Amino acid sequence: MNLEIIERVLSRNPRKIFSKEECYALYEEGLLGNKALTWKSYGEILDSGWSGQVCMRSKKGVARKEVRYNLNIDEVPEHIRRFSDIGIPENMIGFNQNMPDKYLLLQGEIMFNGNKLYLLYSAVKKPMNLALAKRSFTIDGNHAEDALFENLTPESRGDLERLMSKFPTSVVEFSAYSLPVGNMAHLNRNTVIWEVRDY
């Protein structure tokens, strides 16, 4: 199923991602770049040996604001039950490592409008939706480029530039930290990609 979705997205000219389902298909296959460590089920978390905290989020478009942060492993089954009670089965939940928010530098949404770069961002050290709601700013052009230069490692900037050239009309959600993070942390990536979307 994911392969069909991926082929459909990549065949568009220009490439666009029209739904949460399409975004997750590319995200889970690693096609959007560095990402938080992720799992598809509670069983996968246990099998991986992960012992840190986790975050759970709905993959259903209508319930995408359903997110749980800072959960210990033994708390996950109860939250799976709570998701189920509101109509979100475990196979529609995404699990990822809880990110080290105290090390956040910059996070937000970036996109091109015409040839101009626009960045909606926050430096509040909380998960993105909470941080943007608390305090956010919009900058563009050279100011946006400077913010990326100052906060992303060269490797992460290169990844972001390539991603935006592949999806030139899309909004890219990212978080940058003062230390290496994600499944490519060993390659000096300090930035994870959360979503790429045209929806």
Distance CA 144, CA 102 (A): 23
Mean pLDDT of the chain: 95
pLDDT over threshold 80, residue 1: no
Pairing label, strands 137-140, 104-113: unpaired
- Give me the pLDDT at residue 117, please: 97
- Give me the pLDDT at residue 66, please: 85
pLDDT over threshold 60, residue 62: no
- Give me the pLDDT at residue 59, please: 84
Other Cβ atoms within 10 Å of 157 Cβ, number? 17
- Predicted confidence (pLDDT) per residue in 109-127, tens digit: 999 998 899 999 999 999 9
Mean pLDDT, range 57-81, rounded to an integer: 86
- Predicted confidence (pLDDT) per residue in 7-20, tens digit: 999 999 999 999 98
Q: Where are the domains of the chain?
A: 11-34+100-197, 38-97
Distance CA 163, CA 7 (A): 17
Q: pTM for the whole thing?
A: 0.89
Mean pLDDT, range 38-51, rounded to an integer: 95
- Give me the pLDDT at residue 179, please: 97
Mean pLDDT, range 67-94, rounded to an integer: 95
pLDDT over threshold 80, residue 64: no
Beta pairing partners, 181: none
Amino acid (one-letter) located at 64: R
